[in-house]
Amino acid sequence: MTTATLETHAPHASRKASKDVRRLQLIDATISVLARKGYAALTVADVAKAAGLSAGIINFHFDSKDGLLAECLQHLTNEFYRNWKANIERPGATTAERLRATLLGDFDDAVFSPDKLRAWIAFWGESQGRPVYEEISAAKDVERSRAVEAACAELIADGGYALDSAAITRALEAMLDGLWLDVVSTSTRRSHIESAANARQSIKAVLHSFFPKHFPQT
């Protein structure tokens, strides 16, 4: 609940909170509950309680539980996209640097918090029953995916590597998803700090294996 407001303890201070602040507060609470109880067991009462508000407020701000969840995923998607964009928009960066920034950026604290990760995975698991979830993230995923593929193709051409660009792109992206997934299943044994460090190590190792000229051994 890192984004959650700073509830002042004055009585009824919350009455004056603006609509956007309330919405964000409820989305943060949703992420927190999703992380703790998973998707199927999440109730609006849980979310309201986690936000320190009453149950009725959710339908007031999001029309329905479904609306809340959809907006929660939208929030995560936007945040993830903005983080990526911020990472690659460095003037003067080479293609290799941008690719590296793309991959490592997924493990930045802003997007790689234990709660958010678990929330993401909860949504992945439900996306088959609810196509709307896939639609929410699809648009921006495609943009990113194309950027990764273009970067790989460019490095392959530039370095003269004997690699299948499509196969390599797919492998890289699968690895990223898998590394996120891994955190959840090992979180009880390892801290997420450690997990992020391990993930970055794996990414660097793989980049070095794929494109040794562009990513020399560290």
Partner DNA sequence: GATGAATGAGCCTTCATTCAT
Partner DNA sequence: GATGAATGAAGGCTCATTCAT
Binding-site ranges for a second copy (CB under 8 A): 35-41, 118, 121-130, 134, 138, 162-164, 166-168, 170-171, 173-179, 181-182, 184-185, 198-199, 201-206, 209-210, 217
How many alpha carbons fall within 13 Å on the CB side of residue 162?
A: 0
Q: Is 138 helix (H, G, I), strand (E, B) or coil?
A: helix
Min CB(162)–a second copy separation in Å: 6
Quick one: 15 or 189, whose CB is closer to DNA?
A: 15
Quick one: 63 or 89, whose CB is closer to a second copy?
A: 63
Size of interface with DNA, in residues (CB under 7 A): 27
What does 43 bind: a second copy, DNA, none (CB cut-off 5 to 8 Å by kind)? DNA
Is there a contact between 153 and 202 (Cβ–Cβ < 8 Å)?
no
Residue 216 CA to its chain's centroid (Å): 28
- Reported for 37-44, long-range contacts at CB under 8 A and 24+ positions apart, including other chains, are 38/118, 38/122, 39/69, 39/122, 39/123, 39/125, 39/126, 44/68
17 forms part of the interface with DNA (CB under 7 A): yes
User: Contact with DNA (CB under 7 A): which of 16, 162, 188, 209?
Assistant: 16
* Helix residue ranges, H only, 10-91: 19-37, 44-51, 57-62, 65-88
44 forms part of the interface with DNA (CB under 7 A): yes
Q: How far apart are CA 156 and CA 149, in angstroms?
A: 10
Site string for DNA, 53-92 (x = CB under 7 A): xxxxxxxxx-xxxx--------------------------
Interface with DNA (CB under 7 A): 12-19, 22, 41-45, 53-61, 63-66
